[in-house]
Chains A and B, each alone.
Chain A
Amino acid sequence: MPCHCNTGRLEPSSIEDISKPSEQLAHVCLEDLPKLPPPYDDFNDLPPYKPLTESAREDYEATLDDTMTVGLPKAKSPEEEKEAVDKFLTGLQKLFSKEDNWTFLQPLMLSMEHCAKCQSCVDDCPVYESSGYNEIYRPTYRSEVLRRLYFKYIKPGNKWYKKFQQGDIELNYTLLVRLCELSYRCTLCRRCAQSCPVGVDNGLISREIRKIFSQELGWTQKDLHERGTLQQMTVGSSTGMNTLVVKDNIDFIDEDMTDRTGIEVKTPWDVEGADVLLIENAGEFLAWPENHGCIGLLLDAAGISWTMSSDIVGYDGVNYGLFYDDMQLARVATRHFEIAKKLKVKKIVMGECGHESKALAPISDRIGLDLTPRESIYTLMRDIVFSGKIKFDPTKNDFPVTLHDPCNLVRSMGIVEPQREILRYLTPKFREMTPHGVRNYCCGGGSGFAIQTPFNFNDWRNQISSRKKFEQILNAFKDEGHDPDQPKYVCAPCSNCKGAIRDLFDYYGAKAKSGYYYGGLSEIIVNAMVDAKEPILDWEMM
């Protein structure tokens, strides 16, 4: 399947190129992409990368690369373009003021001022590597654009000296539309920040660029904003489930789980004074209902007093504001803590969701709300598994298992061992990916990419941002062959990562071709319970 282009590889030759109008700043030829391990190494067998349609190119600002996810409609007049530039400058000033950037000013300043341009970070970026090292995706490319804007417009000093020292940049509309899209080509996995000798955080820079566009210009990604946080604050959940629907669905899950395991599962609602308020990503209830069912079953089996909340936002741990907007971030987090206070619970337990955990724990600490203690479900499940209250038969999990490390929980929060202790005990054929733990690779769906599918963005994600993960999974199961009737399980304890891995397996046909399945952690635990009547991992339904 050779590339559809007739341009050949295209990439900017300098930072200044981002402001120079051209049809497209970068293009990745399919031939440039690193080869996947066999049997996915034959270029001709791989799925196509659909080009953007002509009508999309006519209606939208499609001048960055081969895809769009924000999808900005074309400006109608030069006045509109000028207005956007003015707003951006206001946003830039706010981004570097203490009063307006009350969340991330300190690490952002550090990242602006102290980059030594050593490029230690670039080899750690899976997007850059998987694109065949296209300059546009180099993690320092977009950072350098913001850095030059910072030195030109914000930092005091002699303008000629600054220009000489930092390099120049022209702020125009072309730059804005490209920079906005480009801030959504980074999964915010922060692998680069980890490799930086001075802690410069290019992931944070991408996120802060998105923030200017969202907070000052109203340029947002629809799945995160309109269908995401806005819908969550009005209807109750980013999934569109109101209280009635979520209760109906949870009833169904409880019944289904009880039928299959022979163990009574009943989710408690709005119990005042419970020890634990369980807040999960509500996407689980619709797409991976066993995950909630198994968590409920385990909490009961361990004799923990727990509850869920049926208040608006209380039953959905999603907080997409983390990815693009401080106001939305704080609004959702505030609701979560208000509900915990109202129910007088001892702690909030966050489900198998990376960004929820990060938003509710370290980031809420930074926002400084009136905080209820919080715990990750990973540590709680570890404690339950090793409490001696439940009998396990690990041979029930007699299939190859590997573990995906969700970036937010593992690299950003440092929860590395509990999930491994569980798997080493309950899955006899467990093996690690290389590398793993805090050195893991992102699933490719980070920062909400997993749910973004406008235009051909799905193809971009599966070909580029998820590519490294697929390579890792193939290598982890290298010795197991590709018999589709022998299931191989990727344990991915995060809603967003599961979405990305599902799409990845669908895209490459990995279930039919190699017997690759994926799911969470709680399912693996319940699957090994001696008292559970039927296996909870039902390959037919996965």
Chain B
Amino acid sequence: MPMFEAGDISVEVDEDGFIQDPDLWNEQLANALALTEGVETMGDEHWKLVKYLRDYYLQFGIAPMVRKLCKETGLPLKRVYELFPSGPAKGACKVAGLPKPTGCV
């Protein structure tokens, strides 16, 4: 199984780079994962998205609908892509420590 390593961080990830155990997530790890997604610094809006994704995931066990994410955070999709260039599913979910979204999404 591939490992994600950065500084003193070392966690198992899948072939897409998503962490395998969502319980290992913390803010330090999020910062390190963000760098792999082309996000140099995590700003307030980044955290707003990431925290919403995490809370939703802990409640429902999957990632939220993109439209719900935008509506609840007040961030239009365009802004989400500016914040996470690889998009809400591949970028923001990865940084939030969710498993890779599955199915035709």
Contacts and interface: CB of A to CB of B under 8 A. Distances in A.
A499 B67 contact: no
B7 interface: no
A240 to B, nearest CB: 4
A495 interface: yes
B62 A241 contact: yes
Contact of A287 (B60, B62, B66, B76): B66
B62 A451 contact: no
B102 A542 contact: no
B6 interface: no
Contact of B103 (A249, A253, A316): A316
A284 B65 CA distance: 10
B77 A451 contact: no
B101 interface: yes
B77 A283 contact: no
B22 interface: no
Identify which of B2, B63, B77, B104 gathers the most chain A CB atoms within 10 Å of its CB. B104
Interface bin, chain B: 20 to 34
Given A286-B65, A286-B66, A541-B77, A496 B104 contact: yes
A199 B70 CA distance: 48
A289 interface: yes
B65 to A, nearest CB: 5
Interface string B87-105: 1011000000000111111
B103 A353 contact: no
Nearest to A451: B104
B104 to A, nearest CB: 3
B102 A223 contact: yes
Interface of A: 55-56, 59, 71, 222-223, 227-228, 231, 237-242, 244-245, 248-249, 252-253, 256, 281-287, 289, 316, 318, 353, 450-451, 453-455, 495-496, 499, 506, 540-542
Which 3 pairs from chain A and chain B are nearest by CB? A283-B104, A239-B103, A454-B15
Interface of B: 2, 14-16, 60-68, 70-71, 76-78, 81, 86-87, 89-90, 100-105
Given A451-B103, A451-B104, A541-B70, 13 more contacts: A237-B103, A239-B101, A239-B103, A239-B104, A244-B60, A281-B103, A286-B66, A286-B105, A353-B104, A540-B77, A541-B67, A541-B76, A542-B77
